[in-house]
Structure 1
Amino acid sequence: MMYLRLLILALLLVVTGGHGHAEEETKERPLFRDFVGLCGHTVNFKPDLYWPVCRVVRDYHPVKWDLGEDSSKLPEWPFAKNRVDWSKIYGSWHAKGFKISVCLMFDEMHEEWKDLDKDAYAYAKSFAEHFGPGGKWPYVETVELGNEPGLYDDAKYRKIFEAMSRGIREGNPLMKIATCNIEVGESKRYWKGTGVLAGFEDKYDVLRIHRYAIAEQWPVWRRSYPEDPQVPFLSAIQELLHWRDEHAPDKPVWVSEFGWDSSTKKPDPKGEWSKWVDSTDEEQARWLVRSFLIFARMGIDKAFVYFFNDEDEPKLHAASGLTRNYQPKPAYHAVAWMLEALKDYRFSKVIRESLEDGYIYEFAPEKDGEPVILAVWHATKENEGHEFEWEEAGKVLKAERMSGEDGEAVGLSPSIKGSTMKIEGWGAPVFVWIQR
């Protein structure tokens, strides 16, 4: 059975150029303002700076901060036991307009629970009561039960999952519950296999997966472009979507981490990261935007860039920020351009989808009468032009190529003869506004 499923998946990837849809999907996709997310971290996240690039923030929330050395004693909310004031942190994000998902990271607690069942239940219940919808500080919409909890074996993860989900459901039925990083198959160090969720269908609302387009593993860690069918990026996400359809229909799937490192520095040739290879700033920008477009097409409910900021360190996951030392990178401007254009739009249909001939996706407006937006790009011709030609009924209002380092989009003029449109596309996506 597993061999047959993998064979079918492989055939789908060949047919569609990499992401597993042979036919049009009819289920309505989320609007981009509810779709585009960013991974942040507590006191370092700056709401005003990151508002242009996301509307949903995912916070890494250390349970150890809240419970300290004694898991049986709850914090004096809104303060963690280390005196971080969650009402101020999450309150400032909420006031800006962000939707917030809190990832409860409890790896550091794996040997420190005095009574795991009792304490995890009480902690989750209390957190949900105080910070969930309708609570005293009603800032958190979703709680994620673990990030990459590899220090817990499957049995122990199920135990804490059951205790926390029970506490959240009782403490605040309005709060959504998301899984940790989940993949189809067996559990590994950085994710749990879907088997840990057996029998828990009523205990969670969202499935989460982390995925990076890694073409070469340790010690190189080189990443490829998102559409690359040779890397298990889109295919692993698609496999979880298939699993969802069979085992947990109607539950949304989030890509809660994805991204590319880009640094201005080279690694120490004598250090442990000497062979590490990053992407360019321009590649990071293009590939993030194209990933968002493809995730929307696949039916992902939310997608979160990892990471919000970096300090320009040339090593794995240390140069993935949209900002570098809080200064916008090209990726920041590119994602901001995408979100500004598509915030009131959702994926509508595929016009073209091919590694050889390029991609054209249509995005439909929330309000009737507004123009549609076509996203046009080529996956394998990153730095050379590729002429797109297709039949189009409608008036072209404008066309722009993705913004670059200065944040300014490049205006384009498509060639139109009768009902045939021609436009030059590159690895950097082009948006075309069309009134129909």
Structure 2
Amino acid sequence: MLPRVWTAARLVCCIAMPAVSGEAQPPCFKDFMGLNAHFAFKPALYRPTCRLVRNYHNLDWDVAAIGNAPTFPVCVNRVDWKHVYGAWRKEGFEIDLCAQFGRFGHGNPDFRRLWEGQEAWSRTYGREMARYFGPSGAERLVTSIEIDNEPGRKFDDALYRRIFRAMAEGIREGDPQVKIVTCTARARAADDYSKSLDETFGAPDLLPLYDVINAHVYAMLPKAPGRSPWDRSHPEDPAIDYVRLVDEIVAWRDAKAPGKQVWITEFGWDACTDEAFKNRTGWFLKLNWTDVTDLQQAQYLVRSFFVFAAHKVDRAYIYYFDDNDEPAFHAASGLTRKFKPKPSYWAVRHLHQALGEYRLARVVRQEVGSLYVYEFQHGNEPGLSVWAAWSPTGSGREAEVTLEGLPGTPAKVERMPTQEGDPPAVEWKPAGPRSIKLTVNESPSYLFFSKRP
């Protein structure tokens, strides 16, 4: 239930506004939607949901010890990255490689000694990785490389900056076409998962060494008695930091690193079955960890893509591709459950197929706790447009609304699907010139408009 004190904010947000104030156009959704994956990824299964994929690629799989010569594409355990990434590329995926420090990271109590004096090796590793995997090489397997995942404040910052600088310089030497992506960061003081943009990436001489600012955002609820530290809300909830963190990063970028992209490389919600939930154990039982329903997971993922697009994000990657139906934090976040599609799979697939060629044009209405309406335009045929309308809540709310100022008569209106087959049609009726009435709920409704005569 949303507090009444937000009424004033609701009224302010009613004003239609341009979605993006910068010069660059927002990306089309086919170039915006991504998915986190791992070695067991099945590219043919997930290709209908997106074309961008991010892989957790551990340094300790490539070399047995820091200082050893990398032997790309073959790992120390004999895995051949050419085979792994080649299969993903064959299905049409563009790959972001997250070069995780793995057992060389802060989880190793001896990590400082492991990395001390290894700047030359870091440069070599970055150069050889970019040379082999990058888009200018013969294999053309990846287009971007992240330098670690979530080192946060647990990894000595001065040491990380030296590693980052050396590895980034090596990547630039190996293939200047590779986009260099920071580890996850935020425009606040560092925490256990994110570096501080000011402290780690704000130095003028470091700015040329990266192209993308990377963030992980989860819709965490504030601490409260009886609430677990892992519980999440809906994406538009003004009581949480979900969108605020994004806005702060974008503002930092605009002020201190203009021209760089902002990627959300992790966001998502856990949704396990009722049977699995009954089997919570350990701290997840003691602290009363809760998930969201399968339907809510689908709704919140789709709506997050919309919201991120309106807040000047350049890419967003869902966490995660698959889960084993485990009742624990980050263990039930898949689009599939044991490789069987969940409702979120069908919802995200529909979004990708329906709006893949469209980009955000403007925010039509944005009323906290009541109604969000966004307009999208086709990237190549501006006369084609789609409106998405939904209730920005998490309580099962639905309401009849009047949409005004439409670009024409809708050719069709359909609701976000949660199963295979045609999306459910939404009934509507005229309500005046360029206006209609329809019922919205927390699953977005899509209104498709053809070219004007």
Same fold per superposition (TM over 0.5):
yes
2:178 to 175, 180, 184: 175
Equivalent residue number for residue 88 of structure 1: 83
User: Within 2, Cα distance between the matches of 1:97 and 1:107?
Assistant: 28
Amino acid corresponding to residue 273 of structure 1 in structure 2? F
User: Within 2, Cα distance between the matches of 1:167 and 1:381?
Assistant: 46
Alignment of 1:272-287 (within 5 A): 272-274=283-285, 275-287=288-300
SS of 1:257 mapped into structure 2: strand
- Contact 2:319/2:333 (8 A) holds in 1: yes
User: Within 1, Cα distance between the matches of 2:79 and 2:231?
Assistant: 37
Equivalent residue number for residue 108 of structure 2: none
Equivalent residue number for residue 428 of structure 1: 443
User: Within 1, Cα distance between the matches of 2:175 and 2:399?
Assistant: 53
SS of 1:314 mapped into structure 2: coil
Asked if 1:64 corresponds to 2:55, the answer is no
Amino acid corresponding to residue 44 of structure 2 in structure 1? D
Equivalent residue number for residue 185 of structure 1: 188
Alignment of 1:92-131 (within 5 A): 92-110=87-105, 111=111, 112-113=114-115, 115-131=117-133
Displacement after TM superposition at 1:305 (Å):
0.2
User: Within 2, Cα distance between the matches of 1:412 and 1:170?
Assistant: 54
Q: What count of residue pairs does the alignment treat as equivalent?
A: 422
Q: TM-score, normalised by structure 2?
A: 0.89
User: Within 2, Cα distance between the matches of 1:128 and 1:270?
Assistant: 43
Alignment of 1:203-214 (within 5 A): 203-214=209-220
2:346 to 320, 323, 333: 333
Displacement after TM superposition at 1:119 (Å):
1.2
Asked if 1:230 corresponds to 2:239, the answer is yes
User: Within 1, Cα distance between the matches of 2:215 and 2:9?
Assistant: 19
Equivalent residue number for residue 415 of structure 1: 429
Equivalent residue number for residue 403 of structure 1: 417
User: Within 2, Cα distance between the matches of 1:372 and 1:114?
Assistant: 55
Q: Does the C-alpha gap of structure 1 residues 196 and 208 become closer, same or farther in structure 2, counting only changes over 3 Å?
A: same
Equivalent residue number for residue 32 of structure 2: 35
Alignment of 1:258-337 (within 5 A): 258-264=267-273, 265-266=276-277, 268=279, 271-274=282-285, 275-337=288-350
Displacement after TM superposition at 1:406 (Å):
3.8
Displacement after TM superposition at 1:56 (Å):
0.3
- Per-residue Cα deviation, 1:327-366 (whole angstroms, up to 9, x for no partner): 0000000000111000000000111111243011000001
Q: Does the C-alpha gap of structure 1 residues 17 and 235 become closer, same or farther in structure 2, counting only changes over 3 Å?
A: farther
SS of 1:412 mapped into structure 2: coil
Displacement after TM superposition at 1:13 (Å):
7.5
SS of 1:335 mapped into structure 2: helix
User: Within 1, Cα distance between the matches of 2:300 and 2:30?
Assistant: 19
- Contact 2:280/2:328 (8 A) holds in 1: no
User: Within 2, Cα distance between the matches of 1:216 and 1:148?
Assistant: 22
Gaps of 5+ in 2: 1-5, 106-110
Gaps of 5+ in 1: 1-9
User: Within 1, Cα distance between the matches of 2:181 and 2:340?
Assistant: 32
User: Within 1, Cα distance between the matches of 2:409 and 2:334?
Assistant: 38
Equivalent residue number for residue 7 of structure 1: none
Displacement after TM superposition at 1:388 (Å):
2.1
Displacement after TM superposition at 1:404 (Å):
1.5
User: Within 2, Cα distance between the matches of 1:152 and 1:381?
Assistant: 37
SS of 2:277 mapped into structure 1: coil
SS of 1:395 mapped into structure 2: coil
Amino acid corresponding to residue 333 of structure 1 in structure 2? W
Equivalent residue number for residue 198 of structure 1: 202
1:79 to 74, 79, 84: 74
- Per-residue Cα deviation, 1:202-257 (whole angstroms, up to 9, x for no partner): 00000010000011557352110000011110111111011111000111100110
Q: Does the C-alpha gap of structure 1 residues 380 and 332 become closer, same or farther in structure 2, counting only changes over 3 Å?
A: same
Asked if 1:361 corresponds to 2:364, the answer is no
Displacement after TM superposition at 1:113 (Å):
3.8
Asked if 1:53 corresponds to 2:49, the answer is yes
- Contact 2:29/2:352 (8 A) holds in 1: yes
RMSD: 2.1
Displacement after TM superposition at 1:267 (Å):
5.2
User: Within 1, Cα distance between the matches of 2:238 and 2:353?
Assistant: 30
Displacement after TM superposition at 1:57 (Å):
0.3
Higher RCO by CA contacts (8 Å cutoff, separation 6 or greater): 2
- Per-residue Cα deviation, 1:140-172 (whole angstroms, up to 9, x for no partner): 100001100134211111011001001001111
